[in-house]
Copies of this chain bind each other. A is one copy, B any other.
Amino acid sequence: MKIAVLGCGTVGSGVVEIIDSKKELMMKSAGENIDVKYILDIRDLSDTPFADRVISDIDIILNDSEIDTVVETMGGVEPAFTFCKKCLEKSKNVVTSNKALVAAKAEELFDAAIKNNAAFMFEAAVCGGIPVIRTLFSSLSANNIVSFAGILNGTTNFILTKMINEKMSFDSALKIAQEKGYAEKDPTADVEGLDAGRKTCILASIAYGHHIFPEEIHTEGIRSITLEDAAYAASKGYKIKLLGKADKLKNGKIGAIVCPFFVNDNSMIAGVNGVYNAVSITGDSVGDVLLYGQGAGKEATASAVVGDVMECARLKKNEKHYFWDKHEDGIIEDHMLYETALYIRGYSKDAKTALINIREAFGGVTVLERDDAPENEIAFITGKAAEGELRDTLSELKDFASASVIRIL
């Protein structure tokens, strides 16, 4: 299968790199070789490894019947929209990572896809590598979606995490986010919730079956959050998180909003820190499902794009089956050879001497303590080594009866 990539920026170049370097995986999992034949970009890429495939005229792609699938990673609504629509009209599948495009123009692109029997896929447009689009469209399709709530923007979650965990002001945290490349020089789209708003609209459109535009939903950012608010939140077991949220209301309408929320510390979503994203979805049959991972980043986002491209390859062959190969003897390694650290608890008549022996035998251990431990109890964590070696050392210890051994993840 030959494909073209429109836009060789961060995500686009990541897509080409994955497809160029994982030939064997593509063949095995999609049942087909996948090659990038063209890279459309108006910039000078003559110094890059991609130089011989770079073109600047979309018509070359549109008129090449060998091109089965087109990846759009240009960003922005135009000319991405025009290019994608023309590709679909030529019955070429389109895979995009462009959330602005999907939030603004999906209706028209669905039309073109359906009329021309082409696929239009956009897993990478929401939360990068987290498989939330396919989960909503396919895995949870037997559910009426009661509600969802997501940490959909890594930049703001990074800032809030710094503020809450390190008692840093908003401005200082934003500065660090900019230094680390998580926030742009003009951080408006992230900080004011606009980016989360687009993603909320895409998810709500899937969940509730109608196109929802970003302008329709109330959107607040995190600029006004202070350390005082974080302290009050903590006093009652809450964390402050910027969420995109939607529910089906009793009157049949949709409640959708992007704003900071107090989130209970015991919830999974409160544990999502730094640049990570997560979406919690409640279905009427499945209950709560949470998907968590890197919501951005070159490789994570590019891998989601390539996942969609591989799905296009399977659809092309009308392949109905996932499968794996036959059993192969000896591919499972003896677990005594796995590297691990071990927690060991046991007893010795002379705990003090035993501990000296233990430290010597294992080459240093971390000793653990607990309340009300009997005097003859010893507990420690070893360094990392093959489990078999650690077990041998343990069995050779004198005057120590082991009661419990647990591996450390």
A contacts, CB < 8 Å to B: 18, 22, 25-26, 28-30, 93, 106-107, 110, 113-114, 117-121, 123, 128-131, 133-135, 137-144, 149, 205-206, 208-213, 216-218, 224-226, 228-229, 231-233, 235-236, 238, 240-241, 243, 245, 247, 249, 251, 253-257, 259-264, 267-268, 271-272, 283, 285-294, 297, 299-300, 302-307, 309-311, 315, 318, 320-328, 330-333, 335, 338, 343, 345, 366, 368-371, 373, 377, 379, 381, 403-404, 406-409
Contacts and interface: CB of A to CB of B under 8 A. Distances in A.
Given A129-B140, A131-B140, A226-B404, 17 more contacts: A22-B142, A29-B141, A93-B320, A117-B320, A118-B320, A119-B321, A135-B139, A206-B324, A209-B325, A212-B331, A228-B377, A232-B368, A253-B333, A254-B333, A260-B407, A268-B292, A289-B293
B370 A307 contact: no
Contacts of A121: 322
Given A30-B141, A235-B368, A131 B256 contact: no
Nearest first, the 9 closest Cβ-Cβ pairs linking A and B are A131-B139, A285-B303, A142-B306, A129-B286, A289-B293, A290-B292, A119-B320, A253-B333, A218-B335
Given A216-B332, A236-B381, A271-B271, A260 B142 contact: no
B142 A321 contact: no
Q: By DSSP majority rule, is chain A's interface helix, strand, loop, or mixed?
A: mixed
A327 B331 CA distance: 53
Contacts of A403: 226
Nearest to A137: B322
A231 B243 CA distance: 35
A303 B141 CA distance: 8
A109 to B, nearest CB: 9
A399 to B, nearest CB: 20
A408 to B, nearest CB: 5
Contacts of A143: 303
Contact of A370 (B131, B141, B232, B406): B232
